[in-house]
Structure 1
Amino acid sequence: MNLNWVQIGSLLMFLAVALGAFGSHALKSKLSPHYFEVFQTGVLYHFIHAFAIFLVAWLGTQSDDPNIQFAGVAFLTGIVFFSGSLYLLSISEVKAIALFTPIGGVLFLAGWVLLFISRYKGLQ
């Protein structure tokens, strides 16, 4: 599994900036303060984990441990589930969408654990 994490991270960062700007300029006046905050939370975690994908790209040049690649997949799918569900929830106000948010959170956590394991194994 040799994904181009720099390209994926770049695309995700572009989307995070675009969605953040869209939220601040187009949605802020249309959403309730609560749902605007929900949208902004999605953007924040989108940024953090898009940046984490650049970390995956760099660590992938340092080691061939498959846990690094799995971490990238976890971060990518975590953004889709966590941030994506918050974006949809904020604009639709359909509360059932929030059921997907914790799945993304668990994927984020799994990604960080996988990176820890990959580096811990590298120290032995």
Structure 2
Amino acid sequence: MNKTYLIIAAALGALSVILGAFGAHGLKGRMEPDALDIFETAVKYQFYHVFALLAVAIISQFIPGNLLTWSGRCFIAGVILFSGSLYLLSYFKMIGNTQMNWLGAITPIGGLCFIAGWLLLVIAAIKN
């Protein structure tokens, strides 16, 4: 088992719950609905990929090699780039700073990281 990925997944999972609750209770009414939707998308994808990272952490004890290591790295990078850019974008929308809309261009890079992580997991499973 990859203990590092397990710890990161658990921490990201706790953060997902905290941010989800904050969004539902602390931001509702303070954010425009479109900015809140962006925030909720960030939380949702972060939480989905907590489970992906947990799977990588557990499966790594059965399937050795670098493919799972890179899969986990891609999931972590995806959370940072995809969800992180959406968190920042929703914040800047909330405060009315339209100069930071370029952050939306980072989000697809995070999405590509998620896709790469899943594909690496598939390849690792096939090669085993």
- The two structures have a TM-score, normalised by structure 2, of 0.91
Tell me which residue corresponds to 2:32: 32
Residue identity opposite 2:52 in structure 1: A
Distance 1:56 1:6, change over 3 A: same
Q: Does residue 94 of structure 2 align to residue 95 of structure 1?
A: no
- Deviations along 1:25-83, one digit per CA (max 9) or x if unpaired, are 11111111111011000000000001111000111011112100100000001000000
Aligned residues: percent identity? 40
SS in 1 for 2:31: coil
Over 4 Å off, 4+ runs:
none
- Deviations along 1:78-108, one digit per CA (max 9) or x if unpaired, are 0000000111100112311111100100000
The whole-number CA distance in structure 2 between the counterparts of 1:3 and 1:80 is 20
Structure 2, unaligned runs of 5 or more: 94-99
The whole-number CA distance in structure 1 between the counterparts of 2:6 and 2:55 is 9
SS in 2 for 1:85: helix
- Post-superposition offset of 1:3: 5.8
Size of the aligned set, in residue pairs, is 121
Tell me which residue corresponds to 1:120: 126
Instruction: Give the RMSD, CA atoms, in angstroms.
Output: 1.0
